[in-house]
Amino acid sequence: MLTKNQTKRILSLSQKKYRYQQHLFVAEGPKVVQEFLEASYELVEILSTSDSYQSFGRVFTHISNQELKKISTLKTPNRVVAVFKIPEPKALDFSQLILAVDGLNNPGNLGTMIRLCDWFGVKDIVCSQDSVDCYNPKVIQSAMGSHARVNLTYLDLAEFLKSQTATFGTFMDGSSVYEKNVPQSGVVVVGNEANGISPKIEALVSQRLTIPRYGIQNKTESLNVANATAIILSEIRRQQRG
C-alpha cells in the first residue's frame, strides 16, 4: 500500500532541486525500469500494480491502479514506477566522438538525442550547465533507458572546448556534412532549439558544419535539433565505415 510519505517523495522528484538534494530520479514503465535494473543502477524502491517485482523484497510495494496514477507523470501510467540513485558521471573517453549540447531546453529533444547516441555508439554527451537536466522525467521517458549506455556530464562548456583541438559546430552557413570528414575523435556541438549555438561557444568551434537544404524554395528556416543530430551522427558513422 502506498504511503503519504512515498507519494510526497516520489512526486517531489519531478523537480530538479529535489532530485539533486536526494540524489534520486524516477523511471516509469516496464521497459525503461528494466533497462536501469540491468545496468545495475542502485534501486531505492519499486512500486507496481504487478506482483512480478516481488523478488525485490522490502523495496517493493504493491499498489493499485489508482495509487499508480497518483505518483505517475504519464498520461497513461504503465504498471511500474521505480526510484534509482543518480550515479556519478564516468570519465570522458577522448579517443571517441563526443556530443556537446549548448543550452538545450526541451526535455524531449535531449531524451531523443541520448537515444540517438546510444544507437550510433556515441558514449559521451557533455552538456552546458544551463541545459535541461538529463534526469527530468520527460528526458528519462524519451531516452527509453539509453541513459544506461550513454555517459552524461554537465560542465562549463566553454572551458571544456578550450582544451579540445577538433570541434565541429552545427550552423546554417557551414560546410556540408556530406563533404566534410569528421575524425574518429572530436567534439560535435549542437545548440539551443530557438537560437542555435551561443556566440560564446561559437567562438570556440574550429569547424562549421551544415546539413544542406534541397527544397526548391529553401523557406524552411531550420531542422529540429534532435533531427539534425540524427543526420549528423548518421553521416559521420557512414564516413567512418567507408
CATH number for the domain that contains residue 125: 3.40.1280.10
Q: Averaged over 25-38, what is the pLDDT?
A: 97
- Confidence band of 182 (pLDDT split at 50, 70, 90): confident
Residue 242 pLDDT greater than 70, yes or no: no
**Based on the domain organization, do 65 and 107 belong to the same domain?**
no
**Based on the domain organization, do 66 and 120 belong to the same domain?**
no
| 164 neighbors 65 (Cβ within 8 angstroms) | no
**Based on the domain organization, do 72 and 106 belong to the same domain?**
no
Last residue in a domain, options 85, 114, 134: 85
Last residue in a domain, options 51, 85, 119: 85
Q: Give the span between the Cα atoms of 158 and 205, in whole angstroms.
A: 10
pLDDT of residue 219: 65
pLDDT of residue 209: 96
- Confidence band of 218 (pLDDT split at 50, 70, 90): low
With respect to residue 91, please indicate whether it lies within any of the assigned structural domains. no
Residue 112 pLDDT greater than 70, yes or no: yes
| 110 neighbors 134 (Cβ within 8 angstroms) | yes
13 contacts: CB under 8 Å, gap ≥ 6? 19, 22, 24, 25, 26, 83, 137
Residue 80 pLDDT greater than 80, yes or no: yes
Residue 44 structural domain: 4-85
Inter-CA distances, 114 with 88, 135, 150, 175, 232, Å: 17, 12, 7, 25, 14
The chain-wide mean pLDDT, for the chain, equals: 95
Last residue in a domain, options 59, 85, 111: 85
- Confidence band of 142 (pLDDT split at 50, 70, 90): very high
**Based on the domain organization, do 103 and 81 belong to the same domain?**
no
**Based on the domain organization, do 31 and 120 belong to the same domain?**
no
**Based on the domain organization, do 79 and 133 belong to the same domain?**
no
Q: Give the span between the Cα atoms of 3 and 164, in whole angstroms.
A: 50
Residue 217 pLDDT greater than 70, yes or no: no
With respect to residue 90, please indicate whether it lies within any of the assigned structural domains. no
Q: How many domains does the chain have?
A: 2
Cβ atoms within 10 Å of 73's Cβ, excluding its own: 17
| b/e sequence 78-111, b meaning 16+ C-beta within 10 Å | bbbbbbbebbeeeebeeeebbbbbbbbebbbbbb
**Based on the domain organization, do 27 and 80 belong to the same domain?**
yes
With respect to residue 232, please indicate whether it lies within any of the assigned structural domains. yes
Q: Averaged over 137-144, what is the pLDDT?
A: 97
